[in-house]
Chains A and B, each alone.
Chain A
Amino acid sequence: MSGTGRRWITDGNEAVASVAHRTSEVIAIYPITPSSAMGELADSWSSQARPNVWGSVPQVIEMQSEGGAAGAVHGALQAGALATTFTSSQGLLLMIPNMYKIAGELTPFCMHVAARALATHALSIFGDHSDVMACRQTGFAMLASASVQEAHDLACIAHAATLRCRVPFLHFFDGFRTSHEIATIEALDDDDLRFMVDEDLVRAHRGRALTPDRPVVRGTAQNPDTFFQAREASNPFHLATPGTVQETMDRFATRTGRRYRLFDYAGHREAERVVVIMGSGAETAEETARWLIDRGEKVGVLRVRLYRPFSVADFVSALPPTTRRIAVLDRTKEPGAVGDPLYLDVVAALAEARAAGISRLAAEPVVVAGRYGLSSKEFDPAMARAVFEELAREAPRPHFTVGIVDDVTGMSLAVEADFDIEPPEVTRAVFYGLGSDGTVGANKNSIKIIGEETGQHAQGYFVYDSKKAGATTVSHLRFGPRPIRAPYLVKRAGFVACHQFEFLQRTDVLERAAPGAVFLLNAPHGPGEVWDRLPREVQETIVARGLRLHVIDAASVARAAGMAGRINTVMQTCFFALSGVLSREEAVAKIKEAIEKSYGKRGGEVVRRNFAAVDEAVAHLHEVPVPAAATAARRRPPAVSGSAPDFVKRVTAVIMAGNGDLLPVSAFPPDGTWPVGTAQWEKRNLAAEIPAWDPKVCIQCNQCALVCPHAAIRAKVYPSDLLAGAPAGFLADDFKSNEMKGWKYTIQVAPEDCTGCTLCVQVCPAKDKTNPRHKAIDMAPQRPRLEAERESYAFFLGLPEADRTQMRIDLKSSQLLQPLFEYSGACAGCGETPYVKLLTQLFGDRALIANATGCSSIYGGNLPTTPYTTNPEGRGPAWANSLFEDNAEFGLGFRLAVDAQREQATHLLRAMADQVGERLVSGLLEADQASEAGLVEQRVRVRELKQRLAPVPGAVARRLESVADALVKKSVWLVGGDGWAYDIGFGGLDHVLSGRRDVNVLVLDTEVYSNTGGQQSKATPLGASAKFAEAGKETPKKDLGMLAMSYGHVYVAKIAFGARMNQTVQAFQEADAHPGPSLIIAYSHCIAHGYDMALGVEQQKRAAQSGVWPLYRFDPRRSAKGEPPLRLDSPPPSLDVVDYMRNEGRFRMVEKANPERFKTLARAAQREARQRYAVYQQLAGITIPRIGDEGDAAPAARPSTER
């Protein structure tokens, strides 16, 4: 019955989720890249009432962590449901405790893992097997898929087999490479699933469930007398599992014609060299083996499908008897082990088989171990071939790596980079786009059109960079008559499109262009002039490879159609026009059909404008005659300026240029420690328009500097004589200050770091009275001002930083302090980064920051460059990210260490008072460090201490030297988003707040999981639509501030910089000054709210005015003075909540979908906001009663049992 399935073009996540959703009753999940989409799809289908194969709609619930999801499915399974979950990486690790339980209880269950690297020296969201390998001891069966089709099929086989075996299954496939690859597959319909999943076994599972009607007890505690034997009692089930899985695979084959085996061998019948491999790499290895066999080599590939339980008999019987050499390739790393896990299993299996006499091998094989593909590192045919070649050597290396250059331990294989085995009938195309221009979306669309219309097999894979603003995307597309088995990037493309002209200045977009390829370029220049605008390198490649150049001014076409910067449909039309896969008419009709389908729900106008863009595209597409030789003198500028530090030039610049793959092992710090202050070298030039300052209109309020998310507009005050030597265009005005007469003031933009978000212009209150449209800050085109502003900015940076000891800190003066967080990769207009920047301005030179995983850890620490930087003395925030769930504890650890060191220093100082001097000791120990001046004085004392210690011999002096810096007050910050603080990390946060240690918590509250794509958190407000709350959240936002206030000793502030900047600055200062734990909850507007980020400040104001976000500060120190600790900083609500809600897409979606529900939710939100405000108002009038010893002796109410 081969080939009966419906052809479906989809990605791995959807292919798996579609099976899991249809064969489950309960789905508990928690978002984590790259598996999030599976949970989202399941939720979306359930919310559309899509049933499973038994006609009921699966219950989908988002939990507070993966630990929670695992607990929930465990419970659901115990109560007799068919349950599933999806996860990856660290999320999977959080499930391990429950996995032991589920397996120990022999519970049929299948979970799906998009396998991903584990955070070690660094976090990585990309794919390898580190996470699943950490589960091989849990008792789960582990089934590996290598492609989208397999992931779809094996998901079904796993769900079916688990019911038969009673052993739970972990089905996994490679994160991104398979989870995010789009491919043509044959879909399993409901009848296929019903055929596979035996209802009798479902009933049997239900029959074992916990029910008061037939009660049993599980989860007993057992003692030395029984535990061991009971643990062994499950052996028969695990032993039977491989056989059962094979039977299930065979049954699947009878239905679909697609045949799978536990270990599948492909290659020469008399192969001598065999690669053993698991996951998507097997596809590449097999295709390479086939190519080698065609050239007379005796090679083969054994792919592992069922990894646990590992069936020795099936393994050895799958190997050709002629096998003499085996390379086992692991996609994980176990430092310190004899070898990585699959290798160890293979070695042990061969030994056992030999001992048991079941080995078919004619001779004892040589087995070597190779490691490849960590964190989605490419594994391509050149690498696979290198492995086969290594096996052919007289003495193959016993342990090697492939895919990198290891010049430290010399373990890596040499690879011939240009080796390519792709068949000529496969069409290959590569597209360079900007995230916001819609290139990826259009390409996904093209794949569907071609796949569906031409019957060709299609594949799409998309590479994203690490930035959120101005992100580059590279799309790799393949089309061919046969199924495409090439899970690696396109190396030689017949079609290359560059959707952004600026890319030519910094990226080698023609790197992958095959000779004679078509090169489609979007440029703001016509066919007559574009050639002269190309950098010399580009011209040379075009000439040398005989490329055919076509140009279109897509931005103009899109603009004329009213599509702003969305050039995707224009470029898509050009692709079809040039590629000839379909006739132009047919292509246009299909693109329009796709637009109608994708955007129909967006409204008629959206469709109409997209149509207009399509209609105009071809008319504006021109072929450019290519001269016989390159003519340009101008070359591509270097990635970083010549003044960058050596490390930045040697390492960072290479990564920035997209060549990180070429860096050898020796280039890297071995422990994940990286230099700070590198974002300044990455000049991204994202903004077409940048702010222009008019000193005549400016009132010097510094609000523009405060709101800037990228520290790209700054203020400085300096003596006027420093203006000597200023570049011609440098602007300055007299500083408006009574104390600093004769000083100058400048607002300066960093022209190449500004993202053009316009927040500064929006917030600027200073209007030109005669022409109020003109403000002190206006946006103006960047290009004509670039050179002058670059010079001015360099001069500005050279001006001295403000003297912190001379300032009383308020909103205005805070912005004269140097930001030690600059030019991050956050979204343009980000609502979080202004807070982070302010933190570094106020305390950066003595701050330790523990950062929870999320947006702030990504823009805070994603390579190539990092935004945290240092002041002229070399001090700056010390920043680290541990995990998502543990950040409060992690940051508390910073404080414990700092306290311990201070304690030790104190103790040692006293002990060494004679040598150090009483005066200095008492100065150091009694220092008032409440002010900047006090801090500076203390630093001077510490310096003096070190000087005095230097000549003193002995261990005590050395010890004191090493902890002396702890005598200067440190500011410890725990930074993270609402996903961390409200959900996954709440337990830890609560614990940290319950103690007395001096830590400051900054919650960047976007009210949603921003980084993973908009899933609801417990901070999501009532009425908002989010993933997992599609119809609008029904429950109010958790009042984290109130919970913290209930402790009494915690400083708590709720702030919104857009609503009251002064209060924001005050809150940070008070939090730092408060000697115990402090919590700041900061309103952070976000792209996940669905409106123009330029209006973020306005919307923050509305949030406060409507009472949705009441501003307050709860300071326990006021209690001691007999004052109410809570101070409300925003007046009673004066705006209807609905007027706040209507401005944001997240609320409007609810109104659009269901206006009546919106009304109900809006009313509830209004009630809720008013009530909370009223409660706060009452609290703000309450002083904390002082109960003396008497009061302690006589509690007001005794427990009733004592009466």
Chain B
Amino acid sequence: MDLSTRYLGLALESPFVVGASPLADELDDAKRLEDAGASAIVMRSLFEEQIVREQIAAFLHTEMHGESFAEAMTYFPSPTRFVFGPEEYLDHLRRLKETVRIPVIASLNGTSPGGWLDYPPLMEKMGADALELNLYPLALDPEVSGAAVEEASLQAVREVRRAVRIPVAVKLSPFYSCLANFAQRLDTEGADGLVLFNRFYQPDIDIENLQVRESLQLSSPSELPLRLRWVAALAGRLKASLAVTGGVHNAADVVKSVMAGADAVQLVSVLLRHGAARLKGLRAELEQWMAEHEWTSLREMKGNMSLLRCPDPAVYERANYMLILQGWRGETGAR
């Protein structure tokens, strides 16, 4: 069975990409994922805030006390060997490259212009096969318009694109007023791929201690349809390749994604829940399903259910919403 695909210009042996997560934090785990059939690995995201905040904090908290007391000019060993940059990330990237044969995609999360933009070239230098730029501007400031948010994001993509020669994927949230338009502009800026959609830590409220806490819930298959709709809407309209992430839990989900037009699927929750070995199972299930349904390659099915090619495009559009809503009311007998 030919499961091969092209994603970000990379020839992948299957669509099963390990999504940005701690899954590849340990080299042994990365090797296990490769052995289980992962076709590429996206590393954990390096966050703009993390980079900038730690740099500035480390700078202030180590420098601030120096040169102010006669008995101690400094309180730490000189920073000739440790660097408060992304060194550990880059180092891990280098080791990962040495450990696995499959492509390794570095991931960077940031939106504003700043020091973090130094890192894409370093990631390229360290051997990243591609870069996934994770855009997640939280537009909480009422003074900032949607257009400004989009422009800042485009600017970031432009700068990263200019800084590296390796392919650049852009991971998006679904929260844009005109996603199709924005996707097209990203495509024009030279994004080599779009990853739909990111999921984030969301705040939770601790009602005992009156605190807001971060929480992370693993994805569920119910999240897939949103992705399918947008992949289907974009497929065939962009130069950029497409990946689905969030909600892919079984072989059928993979088939749906590819049919909608995805070049790859990114898996995280299912692997966190069931371990690397689940990849093998997914792959076997996919092959079996394709054999049963007489598909010989993934390429044949790619995009056959996209907005451009599906038999009933209206379902992807607004009518779909109306029908489901009404159907649901019907089911509960609330009519």
Give A contacts to B, CB under 8 Å: 33-34, 36-37, 44, 47-48, 125-126, 176, 434-436, 438-441, 444, 462, 464, 468, 471, 473, 562, 564-566, 599, 601-609, 767, 769, 772, 827, 858, 1010-1014, 1025-1027, 1030-1031, 1087-1088, 1090-1092, 1145-1146, 1148-1156, 1158
Contacts and interface: CB of A to CB of B under 8 A. Distances in A.
A607 B114 CA distance: 11
B59 A1150 contact: no
Nearest to A443: B67
Contacts of A468: 68-69
B83 A769 contact: no
Interface string B47-63: 00001101111111111
Nearest to A1088: B75
Given A604-B118, A608-B114, A176 B57 contact: no
B273 interface: no
Given A1090-B62, A1092-B61, 15 more contacts: A33-B71, A125-B71, A564-B56, A599-B59, A601-B80, A602-B58, A603-B51, A603-B59, A604-B85, A608-B115, A767-B210, A1014-B75, A1030-B81, A1031-B81, A1155-B88
Interface in B75-110: 75-85, 87-88, 91-92, 95
A435 B67 CA distance: 6
B76 A1146 contact: yes
A465 B114 CA distance: 38
Closest 5 CB pairs of A and B: A435-B68, A605-B115, A1013-B72, A603-B55, A1153-B82
Nearest to A1152: B82
A464 B71 CA distance: 9
Contact of B83 (A33, A176, A436, A603): A603
23 contacts: A47-B77, A125-B70, A126-B70, A176-B70, A435-B67, A440-B67, A462-B67, A601-B80, A603-B55, A605-B115, A608-B114, A609-B115, A827-B65, A1013-B71, A1013-B75, A1014-B75, A1031-B81, A1148-B54, A1148-B58, A1151-B88, A1152-B82, A1153-B82, A1158-B88
B51 A1025 contact: no
B82 A1155 contact: no
B67 A441 contact: yes
Contacts of A473: 67-68
B146 interface: no
Given A471-B69, A772-B210, A1014-B76, A441 B63 contact: yes
B56 A435 contact: no
A857 to B, nearest CB: 11
A1152 B210 contact: no
Contacts of A126: 70
A772 B205 CA distance: 12
A1152 B88 contact: yes
A438 B80 CA distance: 20
A603 B84 contact: yes
A606 B69 contact: no
Contacts of B60: 564, 566
Contacts of B70: 33-34, 125-126, 176, 464
A921 B3 CA distance: 100
B55 A1152 contact: no
A1156 B64 CA distance: 29
Contacts of B91: 1154-1156
B197 interface: no
A1122 B311 CA distance: 85
Interface of B: 51-52, 54-85, 87-88, 91-92, 95, 114-119, 210-211
A698 to B, nearest CB: 16
Contacts of B211: 772
A605 B76 contact: no
A632 B117 CA distance: 51
Contacts of A607: 115
A1150 B79 CA distance: 11
Nearest to B76: A1014
B63 A438 contact: yes
A1149 B61 contact: no
B71 A1012 contact: yes
A34 B57 CA distance: 29
B85 to A, nearest CB: 4
A176 B63 CA distance: 21
B109 to A, nearest CB: 15
B75 A1087 contact: yes
A1090 B81 contact: no
A606 B115 contact: yes
Given A602-B84, A769-B210, A1091 B79 contact: no
Nearest to B122: A604
B90 to A, nearest CB: 10
Given A48-B80, A603-B51, A1012-B71, A1091 B56 contact: no
B306 to A, nearest CB: 41
Nearest to B113: A608
B115 A1088 contact: no
Given A603-B85, A1026-B77, A1145-B61, A609 B71 contact: no
A1007 to B, nearest CB: 12
A1025 B77 contact: yes
A8 to B, nearest CB: 17
Contact of A1152 (B56, B59, B83, B114): B83
Contacts of B84: 601-603, 606, 1152
Contacts of B85: 601, 603-604
B37 to A, nearest CB: 27
Nearest to B52: A605
B72 to A, nearest CB: 3
A605 B65 contact: no
Contacts of B74: 1013-1014
Nearest to B55: A603
B255 to A, nearest CB: 39
A1014 B65 CA distance: 12
Contacts of B81: 47-48, 1030-1031, 1153
A315 B30 CA distance: 76
Nearest to A441: B67
A880 B44 CA distance: 55
B65 A1087 contact: yes
B144 to A, nearest CB: 19
Contacts of A1010: 72, 75
Contacts of A1012: 71-72
A44 B72 contact: no
B44 to A, nearest CB: 13
Contact of B56 (A34, A609, A1148): A609
Contacts of A439: 67
Nearest to A771: B210
B187 to A, nearest CB: 29
Contacts of B82: 601, 1025, 1149-1150, 1152-1153
Contacts of A1091: 57, 61
A595 to B, nearest CB: 11
Contacts of B58: 602-603, 1090, 1145, 1148
B210 A435 contact: no
Contacts of A1149: 76-77, 79, 82
A604 B71 contact: no
B29 to A, nearest CB: 13
Given A566-B60, A1090-B61, A605 B55 contact: yes
Contacts of A609: 56, 115
B80 A606 contact: no
Nearest to A470: B68
A44 B78 contact: yes
B77 A1030 contact: yes
B290 to A, nearest CB: 41
B74 to A, nearest CB: 6
B77 A44 contact: yes
A1025 B79 contact: no
Contacts of B55: 602-606
Contact of B66 (A441, A772, A827): A441
B76 A1011 contact: no
